[in-house]
Structure 1
Amino acid sequence: MEAGHGRAEGSREDGGDGGQVVFDSTDLETTEEFLIKHYAPLRIGSSTGRSGARITRVAGGAVSADEVALTFDMNYSVEPLGKICLCDIRTGVIDRHRAEDWREAGTFGPGDLFSFAQPDRPYQGRARQAGYSITMLDPALLNQVVGGEEQVRLLDHRPVDAVAAATLRKVIDHVRDDVLAAPGATASPLLVGAATRYLAAAVLDAFPTTAPIGPSAADRRDAHPRTVRRAVAFIEANAERDLSAAEIAAAAHVTPRAIQLAFRKHLGTTPTAYLRRVRLDGARAQLAAAEPGSTTVTEVALRWGYSRPGVFSTHYREAHGEPPSRTLRGR
Structure 2
Amino acid sequence: MLRVESWPAYTGGLPLDDLHFESFDLAETEDFLTEAYTAMRIGGRGQPTRTQVDRRWLGPVSLDSLAFSFDMDFTVLPLNKVPVGQVHSGHIETRFGQVRDVLAPGDVALITPPDTAYSGQVSKAVYHATMLDPDQLDRVASPGDTGAHVKLTGHRPVSRAAGNQLGAFIGYLRERVRMNPEISSSQLVTSTAAMHLAAVVLATFPTNAQLEPTAADRGGPKAALLRRAIAYIDESAQTDISIVDIAKQVNMTPRGVQYMFRRELDCTPMEYVRRVRLEHAHRELVSSNPDTTSVSQIATRWGFAHRGRFARHYRQAYGKSPQQTLHG
TM-score, normalising length: structure 1: 0.88
Deviation at 1:92, TM superposition (A): 0.8
Equivalent residue, structure 2, for 1:63: 61
Structure 1 CA distance, aligned partners of 2:36 and 2:177?
20
- Does 19-28 or 164-173 show the bigger shift? 19-28
Match of 2:107 among 102, 106, 112: 112
Taking structure 1 as reference, are residues 150 and 61 closer, same or farther at Cα in structure 2, changes over 3 Å only? farther
Partner AA of 1:138 in structure 2: D
Equivalent residue, structure 2, for 1:98: 95
1:116-149 CA-to-partner distances (Å, cap 9, x unmatched) read 2221111111101111111111111111111354
Deviation at 1:177, TM superposition (A): 2.0
1:247-294 CA-to-partner distances (Å, cap 9, x unmatched) read 111112111111111112112222112111111111122222223522
Structure 2 CA distance, aligned partners of 1:218 and 1:164?
29
Taking structure 1 as reference, are residues 240 and 117 closer, same or farther at Cα in structure 2, changes over 3 Å only? same
Look up the SS of the partner of 1:164 in the other structure.
helix
Tell me, yes or no, if the aligned pair for 1:88 and 1:114 is still in contact at 8 Å.
Answer: yes
Equivalent residue, structure 2, for 1:233: 231
Match of 2:187 among 182, 186, 189: 189
Tell me, yes or no, if the aligned pair for 1:55 and 1:68 is still in contact at 8 Å.
Answer: yes
Partner AA of 1:313 in structure 2: A
Taking structure 1 as reference, are residues 15 and 141 closer, same or farther at Cα in structure 2, changes over 3 Å only? closer
Equivalent residue, structure 1, for 2:217: 219
Equivalent residue, structure 2, for 1:322: 320
Match of 2:79 among 81, 90, 97: 81
Deviation at 1:167, TM superposition (A): 1.5
Taking structure 1 as reference, are residues 173 and 292 closer, same or farther at Cα in structure 2, changes over 3 Å only? closer
Partner AA of 1:116 in structure 2: I
Equivalent residue, structure 1, for 2:133: 138
Deviation at 1:50, TM superposition (A): 2.3
Structure 2 CA distance, aligned partners of 1:224 and 1:159?
35
Taking structure 1 as reference, are residues 157 and 308 closer, same or farther at Cα in structure 2, changes over 3 Å only? closer
Detail structure 1 runs of 4+ shifted over 4 Å in the superposition.
Answer: none
Could you tell me which runs of 5 or more consecutive residues in structure 2 were left unpaired when the two chains were aligned.
Answer: 1-7
TM-score, normalising length: structure 2: 0.89
Deviation at 1:35, TM superposition (A): 1.9
Equivalent residue, structure 2, for 1:129: 124
Could you tell me which runs of 5 or more consecutive residues in structure 1 were left unpaired when the two chains were aligned.
Answer: 1-13
Tell me, yes or no, if the aligned pair for 2:210 and 2:255 is still in contact at 8 Å.
Answer: no
Structure 2 CA distance, aligned partners of 1:184 and 1:35?
30
Structure 1 CA distance, aligned partners of 2:181 and 2:17?
8
Match of 2:303 among 302, 305, 326: 305
- Does 39-48 or 220-229 show the bigger shift? 220-229
- Does 24-33 or 76-85 show the bigger shift? 24-33
Match of 2:284 among 286, 295, 310: 286
- Does 311-320 or 70-79 show the bigger shift? 311-320
Structure 2 CA distance, aligned partners of 1:64 and 1:223?
42
Partner AA of 2:166 in structure 1: L
Tell me, yes or no, if the aligned pair for 1:19 and 1:180 is still in contact at 8 Å.
Answer: no
Deviation at 1:44, TM superposition (A): 1.9
Structure 2 CA distance, aligned partners of 1:165 and 1:314?
26
- Does 160-169 or 234-243 show the bigger shift? 160-169
Tell me, yes or no, if the aligned pair for 1:222 and 1:254 is still in contact at 8 Å.
Answer: no
Look up the SS of the partner of 1:105 in the other structure.
strand
Look up the SS of the partner of 1:43 in the other structure.
strand
Q: How many residue pairs get matched?
A: 314
Deviation at 1:20, TM superposition (A): 4.9
Equivalent residue, structure 2, for 1:275: 273
RMSD: 2.0
Equivalent residue, structure 1, for 2:3: none
